[in-house]
């Protein structure tokens, strides 16, 4: 059973461009979470999604950031018009379907975004 997969692992964007980060949860998992890790800091929750639904987006910046988890395909975290402050590691985690979402979260390797 493959773990949580994220791609790309590294992404370089210039200011004003768009960044798209992808996350494929573990097989049998339908709860997906995105976290952001700024340099020298811990992870901060951004958004929690189930298939086709955003459950909690209380950690998402109000502008430029969006997330989706379509019926088919990976979850996408999209950052429009990136700025240097968006440079961070973005981690996706997933937990099993058919359980309370309070089950253990399994993390992917992260996407390291660098904005020039």
> How many CA atoms are closer than 13 Å to the CA of 26, on its beta-carbon side?
18
CB 50 within 8 A of CB 67: no
Q: How far is CA 28 from CA 24, 42, 61, 110, 115, in A?
A: 11, 28, 29, 20, 34
Site string for another protein, 7-36 (x = CB under 8 A): ------------------------x-x-x-
User: In terms of CB distance, is 55 or 83 closer to another protein?
Assistant: 55
Which residue in the set 2, 14, 39, 42 belongs to the binding site for another protein (CB under 8 A)?
42
Token readout for 18 is 């768009």
Q: Are 32 and 48 in contact (CB under 8 A)?
A: yes
Q: Does 45 bind another protein (CB under 8 A)?
A: yes
Contact mark string toward another protein, 47..66, x via CB under 8 A? -x------xx----------
Task: By CB under 8 A, tell whether 41 contacts another protein.
Answer: yes
Which residues lie near another protein (CB under 8 A)? Answer: 4, 6, 31, 33, 35, 40-45, 48, 55-56, 91, 93, 95, 100-110
């Amino acid at each position: 059973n493959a773990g949580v997969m994220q791609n790309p692992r590294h992404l370089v964007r210039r200011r004003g461009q768009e960044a798209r980060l992808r996350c494929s949860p573990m097989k049998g998992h339908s709860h997906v979470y995105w976290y952001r890790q700024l340099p020298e800091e811990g992870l901060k929750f951004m958004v929690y999604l189930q298939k086709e639904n955003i459950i909690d987006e209380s950690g998402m910046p109000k502008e430029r950031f969006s997330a989706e988890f379509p019926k088919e395909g990976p979850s996408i975290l999209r950052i429009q018009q990136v700025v240097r402050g968006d440079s961070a590691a973005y981690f996706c985690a997933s937990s099993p379907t058919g359980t309370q979402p309070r089950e253990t979260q399994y993390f992917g390797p992260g996407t390291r975004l660098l904005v020039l």
